[in-house]
Structure 1
Amino acid sequence: MDKVYIKNVSVNYHSVSAETKALKNISFKVPDGDFVSIVGPSGCGKSTLLNIIAGLLKPSSGEVFIDNILVKGVSPKIGYMFQKDNLFQWLSVWDNVALGLKIKKELNDKTKQKIEELLEKYDLKDFKDHHPNELSGGMRQRVALIRTLVLDPEVLLLDEPFSALDYQTRLNVGSEICEIIKTECKTAIMVTHDIAEAVSISKRVIVLSKRPATLKKDVKITLPDVSPIKRRECPDFSLYFNDVWKEMDINEG
């Protein structure tokens, strides 16, 4: 079953003097439970596409469907993780996780129990009274993810979620986050500049061209079902990496 369907999406930006075409007739489907990454040259519109899927931005033409229902605004089925964890420094881990529930006026005994369960499940229970500045970068990202998961979204959108981390932490946290998303049975769409990250984490990699971005290639990844770090050690990993790399318009034009 297709969880997300992006159908002929185009985006044009208008100014007083000109029109800029950002995305052009992009279509692809994401089955329920899949992890899909979107890569492409800088400035090609990857994050714009993510914002359209989230319902934060309306396309100039085309449509997005979630569970065959047209997206007309922000959907409660969508959870969004940004480049920065956006944790509030003056709030504890527990209060940061609970913030969305408080805003939605859904913080009750049942959801409080869910917060406790998620914090314990992902090794943050002992840190629930700590503040963000007392946590490592990787732990902060886990807190940000749990804050999203506690709202029970069905689709997770991740916009360069590990880019602020150093390389070693990025590898470990990417593996952790991937495992959490898999355990929670979520559908995920991630934007990244890192081809190795995309190949190691995803079931498919969507390659966009330079602006105006079109869907240049849809690469299915059939590496073994092991951790992203272990996937990087597989013999076929470099083949997928090269397959994606050669489609990137890095050195063209």
Structure 2
Amino acid sequence: MKNLRLSHIYMNYHTIKGETETLKDISFNVEHGEFISIVGPSGCGKSTILNIIAGLLTPSKGEVLVDNEPINKSLLKIGYMFQKDQLFQWLSVLDNVLLGLKVQNKITNDAKDKVKELLLTYGLWDFRDYYPNQLSGGMRQRVALIRTLAIDPTILLLDEPFSALDYQSRLNASDEIYKIIKNENKTAIMVTHDIAEAISMSNRVLILSMRPAFIKKEIKIDLCEKCESPLKSRENPNFSFFFNTIWKEMDLSE
């Protein structure tokens, strides 16, 4: 994937009571290897954007393009991480990771070797026979990400992936997940309510307005050329500048 583009996306929901306009003329590009975060008021349509990219929703108007071709005609493979890890409690770590491949009927020796390599690389091979309730919240999120990576997606969609964790676990998990995504050279789009999280993990932050949502501002995050981790990014003296800039743009009094 060279370029993912959302072009003039509108989204209206129709109910018995009438029509609700959710998204209004959303356009942005994502280059390969970028990490983009989307922030905005609750209920403004952030997750709706991810669902449109994933093909789970069809926009009322506009299109999603990959290298100027409609996304449904591309070979783009999308991985989706939700707010909860969605692990099956009765399956081991290894079986949970293999699940996507089994559903797609793509269990091969090469695929098994790739899964083993991922589990070894990211410190989970020794836990392959454990069950989700035996793991910490951060480890469960790592398992969920590796399950997503096992199908070799071109782009990752992250919908509040750390919101179920306590603060300390959230910091550690975001650090670990970020390093895995960068190490695997994946493109990522994340929805989050946490401004600090968005700044520390992203190349760019898109700020949405209240509904019907449009992009109020796009902030390029240039804390450092090659930050080792989100935790290191938070130590940068310019971090507070980006935080205050985004916070002001998210004024909910309008």
Residue-by-residue CA offset, 1:110-156 (whole Å, 9 max, x unaligned): 10111100000000010000000000000000000000001000100
Residue in 2 that maps onto 1:95: 95
Normalising by structure 1, we get a TM-score of: 0.97
Q: Distance in 2 between matches of 1:177 and 1:33?
A: 14
Q: CA RMSD in A?
A: 1.4
Change (3 A) 1:232 1:30: same
Change (3 A) 1:244 1:73: farther
Q: Distance in 2 between matches of 1:194 and 1:17?
A: 33
* Residue 7 of structure 2 corresponds to residue 7 of structure 1: yes
Q: C-alpha displacement at 1:18, in angstroms?
A: 1.5
Sequence identity, in percent? 63
Residue-by-residue CA offset, 1:192-251 (whole Å, 9 max, x unaligned): 000000000000000000000001001000011221111111110000111111111323
Gapped regions of structure 1 (runs ≥ 5): none
The number of residue pairs the alignment matches comes to: 252
Q: Distance in 1 between matches of 2:121 and 2:250?
A: 39
Residue in 1 that maps onto 2:137: 137
- Structure 1 segments, 4+ long, off by >4 Å, are 73-76
* Residue 126 of structure 2 corresponds to residue 123 of structure 1: no
Residue in 1 that maps onto 2:200: 200
Q: C-alpha displacement at 1:75, in angstroms?
A: 6.8
* Matched AA of 2:196: A
- Decide whether the 8 Å contact of 1:2 with 1:29 is kept in 2: no
Q: C-alpha displacement at 1:77, in angstroms?
A: 1.2
Q: C-alpha displacement at 1:68, in angstroms?
A: 2.9
Q: C-alpha displacement at 1:33, in angstroms?
A: 0.5
Normalising by structure 2, we get a TM-score of: 0.96
Equivalent runs, 1:1-253 vs 2, <5 Å: 2-72=2-72, 77-224=77-224, 225-226=226-227, 227-252=229-254
- Decide whether the 8 Å contact of 2:76 with 2:155 is kept in 1: no
Q: C-alpha displacement at 1:67, in angstroms?
A: 3.4
Change (3 A) 1:209 1:35: same
Q: Distance in 1 between matches of 2:49 and 2:74?
A: 14
